[in-house]
Structures are given as C-alpha cells and as structure tokens.
Amino acid sequence: MAVQPELIVAAQAGDSKAIALLLARAQPDIRRYAQYNCRTASDVEDAVQEVLILTYRKIASLRAVGAFSGWLLSMVRRTCRRLAHIKRCAARDLQHQSTPADHGQDAVIA
C-alpha cells in the first residue's frame, strides 16, 4: 500500500483533507483484501464501510506510521471474521428455532 507517511501524520493530527485523501487511497486495498477474506459480496461491502469508519475514528491511535498497512489489513481481517461469525450464529439460531407444528403438535391459536 503506497501511502506517504506525511499523509498519515497529517491525518493523525486531525487534518480533514488528509483523512479524506488517506481513506480514498486506502479504499482499493481495503476492498481487495476484504474480497480475499470475506465470504460473500455483501460482507465485502460491509467490511469496506466498517474499516473506513474504523480508520477514520482510530487513525490517531496508530502508534507507528510504518505499521499503517498491517494495522489496516488486520482490521479488515477481523471485520471479515466477525461478519462471518455473525452470519453463522444467525443461521444456527434459525435452524434451532422450531414451532409446535415442527414436532407434530397442534399449534395453539390465541
């Protein structure tokens, strides 16, 4: 990822133009890495948006400017894993939900 260190430092200092430029330059790499790590196209889109927001909110907490790429890509990886986990849990919950009719019992109408 080719982002100038000066741009990262300016973004960390709160320069709104630097933040906008940094996010614009990082977005293609975020998307590419999300496509590699996420399971579905909708997860890719969600991950890109979430990581852009996280980057905006947390850029000031980045300790080493040289670690920006790794920091960003680890956020993408964690976000994709979290989105997959949420979908797995939702699918499992739906699978375990049952109605009385599913067990051969008559449904009670109130």
Residue 105 pLDDT > 70: no
Q: What is the distance between the terminal CA atoms of the chain, rounded to a whole angstrom?
A: 61
- Positive or negative, the CA dihedral 23, 10, 73, 33 is positive
The proportion of the chain whose per-residue pLDDT surpasses 90, expressed as a percent, equals 71
Q: What is the pLDDT of residue 2?
A: 73
pLDDT digits (tens, 9 = 90+) for 58-80: 999 999 999 999 999 999 999 99
Q: What is the pLDDT of residue 71?
A: 95
CA–CA dist 49, 53 (Å, integer): 6
**Are the CB atoms for 4 and 22 separated by under 8 Å?**
no
CA–CA dist 99, 103 (Å, integer): 7
Residue 99 pLDDT > 80: no
Helices and strands of the chain, counted as H and E runs: 4, 0
pTM of the model: 0.78
> Which class is domain 5-90?
mainly alpha
Domain boundaries, the chain: 5-90
